[in-house]
């Protein structure tokens, strides 16, 4: 019996998760940079890069990434939440976060994995927007790892349309005024306000 083929986005997220779980932060950062995942202006990838650099004990580099991407930080966003908590303080306690995490408790690592999966999908959505005028819904699913319903929802949030004359075809509308809403929010299990509270609680525990 043949197993279902993983999407490229899912494969990348799985590999980065594996590297993080093995605390191979340098390898995770190198992989993401090699894939050019950290070169686009994308808030989620900025989060991945910042926390990876903190794990590598490079707070100054993390600050530089934030400054380079600070225009991406919306009010109450994940990137803004990380900065509000203070990168230097977060960096000093980062190693404790992994050791103090409890089974069944949503910790910083769990939150990061959610963000990375969103980032992989966002990265491919951005590529689609730049390079396509239309695309099959099935291809969107393959690139992002989304279900058909999730892919349709994300495309609609972008202001794109499903061409009814070509079932399953997404028509890209370059001048769409709709911004990409919170990616994969339905299955993230945590919103930005909760993310800030989680990090605050972790810092209190590690202190």
SS3 of 77-103: the string is: CHHHHHHHHCHHHHHHHHHHHHHHCCC
Check residue 58 and give its pLDDT: 79
Check residue 177 and give its pLDDT: 31
Q: Tokens 């509270």 correspond to what residue?
A: 197
| pLDDT, one tens digit for every residue, the chain (207 residues) | 334 455 555 677 677 777 877 778 788 888 877 766 665 556 667 777 777 787 777 777 877 887 787 776 665 566 666 665 556 556 666 655 555 554 444 455 555 556 556 666 777 787 788 777 888 888 888 777 788 888 888 888 888 887 766 667 888 765 433 333 333 333 333 344 554 554 555 444 433
Check residue 87 and give its pLDDT: 62
Q: Tokens 């999730």 correspond to what residue?
A: 150
In this structure, the number of other CB atoms found within 10 A of the CB of residue 58 comes to 17
25: part of which helix (H) or strand (E)? Answer: helix 25-34
Domain residue extents for the chain: 8-122+185-206
**Alpha-carbon distance values, 33 to 28, 52, 101, 196 (Å):** 9, 12, 28, 26
Domain 8-122+185-206 listed as CATH 1.25.40: yes
Check residue 61 and give its pLDDT: 84
Check residue 60 and give its pLDDT: 79
163: part of which helix (H) or strand (E)? Answer: strand 161-163
- Cα–Cα distance measured from residue 14 to residue 162, given in angstroms and rounded to the nearest whole number: 30
């Amino acid at each position: 019996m043949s197993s279902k083929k993983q999407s490229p986005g899912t494969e990348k997220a799985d590999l980065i998760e594996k590297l993080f779980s093995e605390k191979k932060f340098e390898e995770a950062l190198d992989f993401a940079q090699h894939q050019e995942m950290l070169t686009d202006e994308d808030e989620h990838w900025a989060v991945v890069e910042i926390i990876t650099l903190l794990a590598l004990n490079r707070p100054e580099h993390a600050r530089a990434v934030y400054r380079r991407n600070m225009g991406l930080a919306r009010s109450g966003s994940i990137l803004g939440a990380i900065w509000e908590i203070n990168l230097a303080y977060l960096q000093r306690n980062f190693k404790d976060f992994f050791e103090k995490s409890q089974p069944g408790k949503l910790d910083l690592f769990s939150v990061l994995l959610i963000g990375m999966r969103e980032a992989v999908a966002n990265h491919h959505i951005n590529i689609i927007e730049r390079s396509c005028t239309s695309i099959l819904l099935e291809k969107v699913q393959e690139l992002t790892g989304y279900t058909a319903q999730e892919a349709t929802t994300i495309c609609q949030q972008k202001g794109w349309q499903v061409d009814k004359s070509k079932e399953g075809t997404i028509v890209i509308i370059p001048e769409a005024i709709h911004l990409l809403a919170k990616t994969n929010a339905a299955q993230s299990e945590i919103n930005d306000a909760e993310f800030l509270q989680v990090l605050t609680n972790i810092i209190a525990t590690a202190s």
